[in-house]
Amino acid sequence: MFKHHTALSVASTLRPSQPVTLVRPHAARRAARFFLEKFPGTAMYAVKANPAPDLIRTLWDAGLTHYDVASIAEVRLVREVAPNATLGFMHPIKAPEAIAEAYHRHGVRVFSLDSIDELDKIVAATATNGVAATDLTLCVRLRVSSSHSKLSLASKFGVHADEAAPVLMAARQVADALGICFHVGSQAMSPQAYGDAIAQVRAAIVAAGVTVDIVDVGGGFPSIYPGMAPAPLEAYFEVIHRGFESLPISYSAELWCEPGRALCAEYSSVLVRVEARKEDVLYINDGAYGALFDAAHVDWRFPVQLVRETASRARDMEFSFWGPTCDDMDYMRGPFVLPADIKAGDYIEVGMLGAYGQAMRTGFNGFTAGETVLMSDEPMDTLYAVTPESSDKVIQLRKK
């Protein structure tokens, strides 16, 4: 399939009037290989970060066999795209119908929970003719701090380590394999987030006195954005490995993680057009109801670059963006740094939108995404070493 080498070639050949999603499968493949080679356990891709079927296929082809799904629609989707994938239904509050369909129709055996009520629900929904399932892997979700993370996941789910013993003991009774999982919050800026959470896992195991077969450190692995440059992922893996090795668990216990953002942030960017300018505010054709939800609602700063035939010589200045809908909430404060002479008709590439970007789109007010275009160039920023081996060129050569 035809690939563009630059965002400029997309802008000049298509002159798109709708936001264009620029996808870079080689970047997702590189991230997957990194986790497969360096994470000291099993990585499951958290599908909610970006459920695009082409991305799931790319990750599967790169060797990623485990997927963290949170809804029955995600279960069906991954089953369809990667029929042999191992699925973990890692949402701690599920509809009974979703559990039953996942277990009986799609072969899902891994479920998370944070209460005895949810445990009872899982046991009932997975029974066959009143006989309880004997092949369940049950992961008890602990509530841990999100204090090192840019987006908290600390309030909604999880049982506190000091209240987890009854849930762990009850789950142990019915589980074939018992796990403990947690999520430190998304975009965790310090490896210590995982060290602290693993200390909670230790406390929970000691209090419950149960045998634990799996420790699942969840997602939260950071990507790189303006003003948010994290420590290398190896440093995270190191802290996790050390913490895991020190836990009172059996020699054969497994270590899992559930990266979403870190696997797919670099997968895509969006090419938007400036429709109008009023001083330091640009009216662009994508926004809060499109791929820029996080830019609008949590002031996330994505990297931007002007895409124009002749490079601008103007100085840089700070802009904020209005999105295309009629809604005041469709506003991205930024600041986004762009040349001062930017004007209506110019195109801007907004980078690092592979995670929680294209996944967030709605069709509100009639504004939807335009085309998706395959790219061979590198993402605007990267966490991973770009080597000749991991560039698109070499991947294409190998295929020939």
Binding interface with ligand PLP (CB under 6 A): 46, 48-49, 68, 90, 183, 186, 218-221, 258-261, 355
Conformation bin of residue 167: beta by default, left when phi > 0, alpha when psi is -120 to 50 = alpha
Residue with tokens 């009143």: 130
Q: Which is nearer to ligand PLP, 219 or 287 (CB)?
A: 219
In whole angstroms, how close is the CB of 46 to ligand PLP at the nearest point?
A: 3
In whole angstroms, how close is the CB of 397 to ligand PLP at the nearest point?
A: 32
In whole angstroms, how close is the CB of 343 to ligand PLP at the nearest point?
A: 36
**What's the chain's length in residues?**
400
In whole angstroms, how close is the CB of 226 to ligand PLP at the nearest point?
A: 18
Of the candidates 299, 300, 274, 270, the residue with the CA atom closest to the CA atom of residue 361: 270
What does the alpha-carbon distance between residue 55 and residue 81 come to, in Å, rounded to a whole number? 10
The pair of three-digit structure tokens given for residue 13, joined into one six-digit string: 């050949």
Q: Which is nearer to ligand PLP, 218 or 287 (CB)?
A: 218
Q: Which is nearer to ligand PLP, 181 or 212 (CB)?
A: 181
Q: Which residue minimizes CB distance to ligand PLP?
A: 219
What does the alpha-carbon distance between residue 339 and residue 99 come to, in Å, rounded to a whole number? 52
167: Cα separation from own chain's centroid? 28
Q: Which is nearer to ligand PLP, 259 or 357 (CB)?
A: 259
What does the alpha-carbon distance between residue 77 and residue 80 come to, in Å, rounded to a whole number? 5
**Phi, psi at 187, each rounded to 5°:** 55, 60
In whole angstroms, how close is the CB of 142 to ligand PLP at the nearest point?
A: 12
Q: Which is nearer to ligand PLP, 284 or 359 (CB)?
A: 359
In whole angstroms, how close is the CB of 256 to ligand PLP at the nearest point?
A: 10
Longest dimension (CA), the chain: 73
Q: Which is nearer to ligand PLP, 118 or 258 (CB)?
A: 258
What does the alpha-carbon distance between residue 109 and residue 118 come to, in Å, rounded to a whole number? 15
Cβ neighbours of residue 121 closer than 8 Å, sequence gap 6 or more = 94, 96, 99
